[in-house]
Structure 1
């Protein structure tokens, strides 16, 4: 394996060429994170699957050596991923406690009950997309008018958050998940988001409703160490950011894939594949999350022949694992909605921290795609794929805008 570390590009870019180069050298690669912090990325499917469930791998920030040594400044662009209180940075019993508090909102039954609401919201957004296209000489930004407001609206409704906060929540969460945010801006965005969530929680405490935020506040107020105030805010932050950023990228990437592979779209339209197949193949082929921070070995750990020293920040290379030819075959870089495989992709995680909102994300994406291409069967990109501006940062994997011609 080449021991020269790969320098992660804070501005992002398409990950697939880099992934292919790193994977050719091995399933694990050393990387340099922003701020000259040494880290690693696990890219191979099998290695990543095993790493995500390894008993000597933790999420807690106390295991992050550079953080413990004071080498991670407050404005480090990835600091929130490492330090936000809540289930994302908890292990063992603490993680199970926090996950249990919200898991009932995301069961298969509860998600299915949301289907009519998702369908109603989708229909309204399609009208808005058509109107935006009429006002824009036939072109509209699908990401802004469709892929974003659907998951953001649904998660805010689940949490009981006033729709008036949605634009601000998305702006702040985008700054936090970007890896090229300037330190002062990162600090300010974090502070503003925590203050906004605190204000939302205070309003809910004064006027509780039938929503997840009210349930979390009740758990906090019951005492008995069920939920602290920082954990409440951290849980709301995680729910809002993860509850819409991933699905936003998933829908955006699926539309891009189908427009670039009209033969695959035809298979779905003809009934030889279905929309859930499109969702799963998009998750594998162009994962909405590329390199997810962080996990830390609690002892020196050898993964697929490579030593990862204790306390090293490790990225989960979801976009790379999805195109690993050793797991998905020699044509892993081909988008194929009829792909027959027994190997499940890892794009929504694996193990104890598997994405809690996976059933909701899958349902929202399938409904959104079917409704979109049923209403606008000739929808196509308004600019070439090469003309699209990539997402800001190496965590999320998508484009900043998706100009389309719906054909209205």
Structure 2
């Protein structure tokens, strides 16, 4: 395949919608350049579901990616394929690791977390209201969407307050695809070292939390290695944080820029908020591209005129799939009444379906209903075209979402 046929993905994601449209125009499965690494990007939902449930597709880079050793030494996203946890496990190894973490995110635990989520949400909204009353500009991302998932994850993991601030920056950098290889390598090493120190802290101060459960599985039952223990914590923190931040930001952005849809939600906040969150997941998946999977043997896709050779990387293109016109009518339109919005693949599909999806959705629904109640006259403080995306091939969100009251200075024009 000639270089002109490979779509080079923008590491700064300056126009995600246009890039996804171009990717879809190249067929359901197309070649892309992901920070210097070529892969097959799958953008059609039907093909994506097929490959995500195909036993010939693995996430274990050590076993099934021939270029693993060279790649982790030169690729800025090395951490995404080098960790040893259920994210990169395959077959029986994946099932065993998933069973260790699964109970923390089952339906009963998620329901039990709702009062905790509501308490954190109320505290953050009270602080935001005070900030607004003082005349300061409120940034819904920094003041709300960033803090809520972090506090929830810290609660689940039993992380004391003094540890929390040190986690925020290195976790965010895992998704920053503008970092060079040296900075990415250093950040990954720093984050794993920080989590290793946290494990030692929890060994000395156990509690009723997921970290203590994982330490017991390591020290008592020997069901995972020390490396897997640290990398599993890394997975929970990164996956539980960034996807939910993006979901909260994107949901509020969609509502504040679509007054008629916002009115539907205000008139029926219980059911319509659920619909708004699902439509946001469909239209603006928090994770645009998720690296990587690998073919364990040649895979022929004759309908797409594609043959994926053994060992070739596969990239799930979730944001492109969410707006595919073959599946969704008028896919760029935000419509909380869309009947098939919940068929999105924003949390993956098959054996690697995100364990924390129900918790993330619960956080977004509680956050949205509570925010609209606390800020009934909220509008964007800037014009929509002034909003800037997070510089990341992986994350699909905004760097900030400034809000103000309707009629205040710098209020955006109503549409």
Whether TM-score is above 0.5 comes out as yes
Q: Per-residue deviation at 1:327?
A: 1.1
Please state if 1:65 is matched with 2:79: no
Residue number among 241, 244, 248 corresponding to 1:247 in the alignment = 244
Query: 1:17 maps to which residue?
Result: 18
Counterpart in 2 of 1:204? 202
- SS for the counterpart of 1:156 is helix
Contact 1:139–1:406 (CA<8 Å) still a contact in 2? no
Q: How does 1:208-287 map to 2 (within 5 A)?
A: 208-224=206-222, 226-271=223-268, 273-287=271-285
Q: Does the C-alpha gap of structure 1 residues 239 and 282 become closer, same or farther in structure 2, counting only changes over 3 Å?
A: same
Structure 1 counterpart of 2:51: 51
Shift of the 227–406 alpha-carbon distance from structure 1 to 2, 3 Å rule, reads farther
1:145 aligns with 2:146: no
Counterpart Cα distance in 1 of 2:258 and 2:227: 46
The 5-angstrom pairing of residues 363-382 of structure 1 reads 363-382=362-381
Residues paired across the two proteins, number: 402
Q: How many Å apart are 1:333 and its aligned residue?
A: 1.3
Cα separation, 2, equivalents of 1:168 and 1:336? 39
- Is the contact made by 2:139 and 2:403 (CA closer than 8 Å) also made in structure 1? yes
Is the CA contact 1:252–1:402 (under 8 Å) kept in the aligned structure 2? yes
3-state SS in 2 of match to 1:87: coil
Gaps of 5+ in 2: 409-415
1-structure distance, mates of 2:299, 2:174: 30
Cα distance, 1:138 vs structure 2? 4.7
Runs of 5+ consecutive residues of structure 1 not aligned to the other structure = none
Tell me the TM-score normalized by structure 2. 0.93
- Corresponding residue number in structure 2 for 1:316: 316
Question: Equivalent residues in 2 for 1:117-136 (5 A)?
Answer: 117-135=116-134
- 1:191 corresponds in structure 2 to 189
Report 1:30-49 matches (<5 A). Answer: 30-34=31-35, 36-49=36-49
Give the 4+ runs in structure 1 shifted more than 4 A.
none
Distance 1:248 1:406 in 2: 22
2 CA distance for matches of 1:343 and 1:239? 24
Deviations 1:111-164 (A, max 9, x none): 1011111111100000111223334x3521110110011111001110001122
Partner of 2:411: none
Kindly state the Cα deviation for residue 341 of structure 1 after the two structures are TM-superposed.
2.1
Q: How far apart are the structure 2 equivalents of 1:343 and 1:335?
A: 13
The answer as to whether partners of 1:44 and 1:324 remain within 8 angstroms in 2 is yes
TM-score by length of 1: 0.95
Q: Mean Cα displacement is larger for which, 179-188 or 161-170? A: 161-170
Shift of 1:73: 4.5
Which residue among 290, 295, 298 is the counterpart of 1:292? 290
